[in-house]
Structure 1
C-alpha cells in the first residue's frame, strides 16, 4: 500500500487560530464599547444627580420663602430676601451629595434662586436659576381691584384703566394689565361706553355692555349676559365667558366664547381663537349667526351642532348672605367686609368733643400725629384723642414719639378748604375722624410728606373740586404699612365721594354704601370700592397692586404665595488649572 498524507490537517489548525483571534478582537472591541457606554452612563447619572440636587436647593429655598410669607404677610422683594436669608438653603444628603442656594433680585424685580448641586466632591456640578414672583393674599386687603362697584359700574370717560405696583417702581416703570373691574351684588351691570382701553379683566354679576370704541385687554365674565355693540376692530383681547346670553354686533374677539345661553353674531363679527382652542365658540341655547363666511371654523359654520354644546362656565362670585359658606369678611362676597358703620360707631363712642377746621385764603394748616395748628393765617390748635381704630390692629400707627396701644385720632365735625388754602401732613400716620363733610375747592392744596400718611374716616361727603390738588410725596404704603392717603366713608346716599380735579390723585377709596363719582380730567392712582362707580371725562384709573399688602380687616381667601415664573440652567464655572509641577 502506498501511504497518502493529508496536508490539509495543518491548514485547519491555522484557520481555527485565525477565527479565534477574530472572535477575540470582536469581544475586546465589544468590551471596550461597553466600558465607554458604562462610563457615559455613569457620567450622565452623576450629572443627573447633581441636577436633582440643584433642583432640591431651589425647592428648599422656595419653601423658606413661603414660610417667610406665611409668617410676615406680603413683603417687597428686598424685604422678603432679607428676612429669608436669615435661614439657610444649604443641605447635605451624604458626604458626596450637597446643594446650596442663594437669593437675589434680578433687573426685572423678580426673585431669583441660584442653586448649585454637587456629587462626588464636586466631580459633577449643576447650576440652576429659578425665577419667582410674589402674589398677594387674595382677600387680605379690601383694595383688590382697580374698581369694585358693588351695585354697578358705569364708565364713559376717555382715560385708560390699568395697573402698576408702587412697591416696585413708578407707574411708567411697572404698569401692567391687572386693572380689573367688577361688581358684587346680584344682577349688577358693568356699562362701558368710553373711548379708552381697560387693561384688565371685567367681571359682572349682571350684564356686561361693551358700547365703547376701545378694547378690553383681558377676559370678560358675566353671570347674566354680554352685549358688544356695533363697531370694528378688536373689542376683547381675551376670552368671553357668560352664564347667560352672548350678543356680538361688531368687531373681533381674540380668544374664544363660552356661553350657557343663546348666542347671536351679526355681520362683520369675528372670533379669532388665537390660542388654538378646539372650538371657537360653545353655547347652550339657540344660535343665530348672520355672517356665513366669518362665523365658521375650518369650514364648519357656528350653527353646526358641534358648537351647540353647553359649556361649563363658572359663576361670578356674588354677595349671598343665605349661602351656607357665606363669609361677611370676604371682600369678594361682601360689599362692606369691614362692616364700616358698626366700626365707626365703636370708634365714635369714646369721642367727647369735635373740632371744626376751615382753611381759607393764604392759610396753611399742619397736621402731625400729636397736634394740628395754623402755621400761617390763624391761631387754632387742636389735639388728638386716643381711640381704638380697627384699621391699625395689624399695622400700628407710626407716631412722632413712641407708640401706644391706641391711636391718636383728630375728631372733627367738618373740614373745609377754600380759595388757596393749604394743608400739610407729616410726622407719621395722621388719622382724621370726620363726623360731617370734607371738601376741597378753589386752588387748595393737600400735601402728604414722605413717610407719612393720612387716613380719613368720614360719615359725610368727600368732595375734591376741579382746582384742588393732592400731593403725595410717597405713593403707595408707608413704612408702617398704610396707604399714603385713604378714605373710609360710611355715608349712605348719592355721590358720597366726588373727584372732579384736574390734577392727579393718589388715594385708596373705600365707600361701599355710596356712589363714587369721578368726573375730572386728572388721573386716579390707587383703588376704588363704592356702591356704584361712575366715571366720565378724562379721568383714568390706575390700580396700585401694592395695596394688596394692606392689612385692614379683610379675610384672606387664599394666602400670599410665591409663584414660579421659569428657570434656566447655567454651565458651572470652570476652575483655573493648577500650575504644572
Structure 2
C-alpha cells in the first residue's frame, strides 16, 4: 500500500475557502439589497408623507376660506404648517411661496428624522369672492329721482378713453326703497334703463333709451308721435300710455290703459305686443292691435302674469342684517359706522383757504405753497371701508392709513388746494364749502377721498379738476365723497364748471341744479336735477376697490393649478438650521 500525500485535503480546503468567499459575497450583497430596499421603502414613505402634508394643508386652507380672505396672506394666516404622518416616525413641514393670488405649497415629508426626505410642491390660486362695487348706476335715488332739466343721463368709460370717444347708453337710473318714484320731465333723456320701486313718470318729451321696470306703475304723459321708451316696459302695477311710441313690448300685472296716438311697436317681434293681468282700456282701434286683433281681446289678458320685481329694502328678508338696516340704499352702512371714522367728541379745527392761498396736500402732510409753511400732518386712522386697499402714501413699504381731520372746510375767493403724491383722505366733521373762483386740483396718479358729517356745497365758479379721471392704481376714485348727513339738501352742485366725482350720501337730498356737467356717479336719498346739468356715468367706477360688496352666496375659491416633486437638498436643510 502506497503512503497518502494529503492533496485531497488541500483541494477540499481550497474549495471550502472559495465557497466561503462566495457565501460571504452573497451575504454582503444581500445586506446591501436589504439596505437598498429599506432606503427605498423609507423614501416611498417620505413621499407619501409629503403627499399627506399637501392633502391636510389643503383641507386646512379650505376651512380658512370660511373667513372670506381677500389675499393669500389672509388665507394662510394662522393655518398650521406641521403635522405627523400616518406612518410611524414620520412628519411633514409646509412652506408657502406667494406671487399675487397664486402661491406654491411645498411639503417636506420625513421618515426617521432626516434619514428619508422628500419634497412635493403643489400650486394653487386664490380666487376671492366675486365682488360688486356700490357704483353700478349713474343715478341711485333711494327714495326718488326727479330730473326736470335738459341734461342727459348716459355713460362712458374713462379707462378706455374720453367721454366723446367712449360714450354709450348705460346711464341707468334706480330707486330702491319703498314706493320711490322716478319723475322725468322737461327734456332729460335717459340713455339707459330705469328701475323704480315706485312709479315711473315720463313727462314732457323725455325719452328713455332702455328698459323701464317698476314695482308700482308706469305713467307716460301725452306727447307727439316720437319715441318715449326705446326698450320694453315691465310693471308690477298699472300701465298708462297717453302718447308716443314704445319700441319693445309691455308687461303689466295691473290695469292697462292706452289713449289715442299711443303705440307699441314690438320691433323685437315678440308673440305679444302687450300682456296685462287687470282690466284693459284701449281707445285707438287703428294703432292698438296686433295681427288684426285689438289689445282688448282676451288673448292679451293673462291673470297669472308675473313680472320680476325691482329689488327693494325688505326687513323681513332672510339675509337682513341689523347692522345694515337699509342695505339697499346704504350697503356700506356708513351712518351706522361713521363714529368709527370721525370721533363725535373730537377736537378738530376748521380749515379755511382764502384769497391767493395755495395749500398743497400730500398723503402725509399739507403745506402752503408760497412760503412752505408746514401746516397739517395726517393722523393715523383705520377706516373700515379701506379694508383690502393699500393706500398710496408715496412709499411702497408703508401700509398705515393716514387722514387729515377738520371740523369744517371752506375754500373761498380764489383759494386753491392741490392734491398729489398718492391717496389723500379728509375727515370733515362739519360742512365742506367751495365757493367763488376756487379750485381743487388732483394730479394724475393721486386721489382725494372725503368723509363728512355735514353739508357739501360746490357752487359759483368752484372747480374740482382731476388730471386723470377714473380710478387710481390703488382702486380708488380720483375724487369721492362719503356723507352721513341726514338733513335736506346735503349735497349741492350748482356751479357752471364740470365736476368728476363719486358721491355716496344715502340719507340726504342731492341737488344738481347748475349748468356744468357731472361725470362719475351719484347715490342719495333723493336726486333732483334741474337746469342743464347732465349726468355721465363712468363705467370704470364699477371696478372701484372701496366699498365693494360680495354678492349673496359669493365665496372665495381655492383652485388647484398643478404639482411636481422636488429633489431634497441637504445644503438647504443645513442652511435652515
TM, length-normalised to structure 2? 0.72
SS across alignment from 2:286: coil
Matching of residue 308 in structure 1 with residue 301 in structure 2 = yes
Matching of residue 478 in structure 1 with residue 472 in structure 2 = yes
SS across alignment from 2:300: coil
SS across alignment from 1:450: coil
What residue is the counterpart of 1:367 in the other structure? 361
What is the aligned counterpart of 1:553 among 541, 547, 552? Answer: 547
What is the aligned counterpart of 1:202 among 194, 197, 207? Answer: 194
- Following superposition, the deviation at residue 528 of structure 1 comes to 0.4
Identify if the C-alpha distance between structure 1 residues 328 and 543 changes in structure 2 by more than 3 Å, giving closer, same or farther: farther
* 8 Å contact kept, 2:327–2:333: no
- Following superposition, the deviation at residue 379 of structure 1 comes to 4.5
- Following superposition, the deviation at residue 378 of structure 1 comes to 8.8
Q: Distance in 1 between matches of 2:504 and 2:536?
A: 16
Q: Distance in 1 between matches of 2:484 and 2:326?
A: 19
What residue is the counterpart of 1:448 in the other structure? 442
Q: Distance in 1 between matches of 2:255 and 2:521?
A: 35
What residue is the counterpart of 1:145 in the other structure? 137
Matching of residue 170 in structure 1 with residue 162 in structure 2 = yes
What is the aligned counterpart of 1:421 among 415, 424, 429? Answer: 415
Identify if the C-alpha distance between structure 1 residues 288 and 142 changes in structure 2 by more than 3 Å, giving closer, same or farther: same
What residue is the counterpart of 1:192 in the other structure? 184
* 8 Å contact kept, 1:318–1:332: no
Matching of residue 537 in structure 1 with residue 531 in structure 2 = yes
What is the aligned counterpart of 1:382 among 372, 376, 383? Answer: 376
Identify if the C-alpha distance between structure 1 residues 331 and 396 changes in structure 2 by more than 3 Å, giving closer, same or farther: farther
What residue is the counterpart of 2:115 in the other structure? none
Q: Distance in 2 between matches of 1:339 and 1:71?
A: 20
Q: Distance in 1 between matches of 2:523 and 2:377?
A: 31
Q: Distance in 1 between matches of 2:331 and 2:188?
A: 31
* 8 Å contact kept, 1:363–1:378: no
What residue is the counterpart of 1:59 in the other structure? none
* 8 Å contact kept, 1:138–1:144: no
Identify if the C-alpha distance between structure 1 residues 356 and 217 changes in structure 2 by more than 3 Å, giving closer, same or farther: same
What residue is the counterpart of 1:346 in the other structure? 340
* 8 Å contact kept, 2:184–2:206: no
Matching of residue 431 in structure 1 with residue 425 in structure 2 = yes
Q: Distance in 2 between matches of 1:293 and 1:479?
A: 59
Matching of residue 235 in structure 1 with residue 228 in structure 2 = yes
* 8 Å contact kept, 1:397–1:403: no
Q: Distance in 2 between matches of 1:554 and 1:176?
A: 24
What is the aligned counterpart of 1:511 among 505, 525, 543? Answer: 505
1:22-37 alignment to 2 at 5 Å? Answer: none
- Following superposition, the deviation at residue 371 of structure 1 comes to 0.8
Gaps of 5+ in 2: 1-68, 73-98, 104-128, 556-577
- Following superposition, the deviation at residue 332 of structure 1 comes to 9.9
1:487-498 alignment to 2 at 5 Å? Answer: 487-498=481-492
Identify if the C-alpha distance between structure 1 residues 378 and 535 changes in structure 2 by more than 3 Å, giving closer, same or farther: farther
* 8 Å contact kept, 1:139–1:330: no
* 8 Å contact kept, 2:348–2:406: yes
* 8 Å contact kept, 2:475–2:546: no
Q: Distance in 1 between matches of 2:181 and 2:523?
A: 15
Q: Distance in 1 between matches of 2:323 and 2:270?
A: 38
Q: Distance in 1 between matches of 2:438 and 2:509?
A: 24
SS across alignment from 1:144: coil
Higher radius of gyration, 1 or 2: 2
Shifted more, 339-348 versus 528-537: the winner is 339-348
Q: Distance in 2 between matches of 1:247 and 1:190?
A: 15
* 8 Å contact kept, 2:428–2:450: yes
- Following superposition, the deviation at residue 377 of structure 1 comes to 7.6
What residue is the counterpart of 1:16 in the other structure? none
What residue is the counterpart of 2:451 in the other structure? 457
What residue is the counterpart of 2:246 in the other structure? 253
- The two structures, once aligned, show a CA RMSD in angstroms of 2.7
1:389-408 alignment to 2 at 5 Å? Answer: 389-408=383-402
Number of paired residues?
436
What is the aligned counterpart of 1:298 among 291, 308, 322? Answer: 291
- Following superposition, the deviation at residue 365 of structure 1 comes to 0.9
What residue is the counterpart of 2:278 in the other structure? 285
